[in-house]
Structure 1
Amino acid sequence: MNTEKSKVTSIFAQKEFKFLGFCLGRNGSGTYIRVHRKSLAKAKGKLKLLTKRNRGRNVRRVMQEVKEFIRGWIGYFRAVDMKRTLMSWDKWLRRRLRMYIWKQWKKSKTKVANLRKLGVPADKTYRWGNSRLGYWRIAGSHVLKCSITNERLAAVGYFSILNYYESLHLCG
């Protein structure tokens, strides 16, 4: 028998009470249910694993795998109010995907050509295409945010975590 998982206690007496990925909290208006911090960390780790730069998969396939994982995870934790957390995850995931795309372009010549196709002015395409900044730093740059916009990501198949969560909460 696992003594960590099997115990009889008050849920408020133990600070780190966790049951099936959920935990309870108290505030001025009463008791509420939330996702345990370990469950959040595990899910974000899984998303990080799915969007690793060295996977060598098409970005559309990666987006599909992320979509499948997110739909299942949010479906399980749909009773919990976690809008603020999912808002930050959505922003983080879009940046991860921009980083993934930037890495796939590999050579400076390809980066310059693709930025030019996306409508970035010629002087900026050369400067950013030949930049030696890291992938994560460039993924958060103004140039990549303006060229690989949220709308373009959605057109390619990006699945918005926040929109899905809100659609589930509107239905009931």
Structure 2
Amino acid sequence: MKNKIRELTDRNNGLSNTKREEKYQQYVRGWVNYFKLADMKGLLAETDKWARRRIRAIYWKQWKRVRTRYRILRKLKLEHWQAIKLANSRCGYWRMVEMLNTVLTKK
């Protein structure tokens, strides 16, 4: 399952966000329906947490410029100093999305 989710949430595959979301939801829905009788609540919670982090990394990569990152973070109701701090960060994608967890929620 994780390998298939890696393929669907690859940052370099060129899919649009709506198409990526559609394929991801279809795959997870099918997987859950196939294994619905098994006890997998913990596994699904862990996988969901990991997949959301990958999706946030996709969005962070799409906002390539500091100006774009700052503007979008401000639209997400982040304070000026916090938006500047995050937008100018030199951390990699995986580390950055850990910090973005409070800004980019499940909604």
Shift of residue 107, structure 1, vs aligned partner = 1.0
SS in 1 for 2:12: helix
Letter paired with 1:84? G
Separation in structure 1 between the aligned mates of residue 67 and residue 13 of structure 2, nearest angstrom: 22
**Alignment-derived partner of residue 57 in structure 1:** 15
TM-score (norm: length of structure 1): 0.60
CA distance in 2 between counterparts of 1:85 and 1:99 reads 21
Higher normalized contact order (CA 8 Å, seq sep 6+, divided by chain length)? 2
> How many residues get paired?
107
Greater strand proportion: 1
SS at 1:81 equivalent = coil
**Aligned-pair distance for 1:57?**
2.3
Q: Which has the larger radius of gyration?
A: 1
Unpaired segments ≥5 residues, structure 2: none
AA at the equivalent of 2:17: V
1:136 maps to: 94
Partner of 1:146: 102
Cα RMSD, aligned residues only? 1.1
Query: What displacement does 1:124 show?
Result: 1.2
Aligned partner letter, 1:100: I
Distance in 1 separating the partners of 2:32 and 2:82: 39
Task: Give the alignment partner of residue 59 of structure 2, picking from 98, 101, 116.
Answer: 101
Equivalent positions of 1:69-80 (< 5 A) are 69-80=27-38
Q: 1:149, 1:77 → 2: CA distance?
A: 27
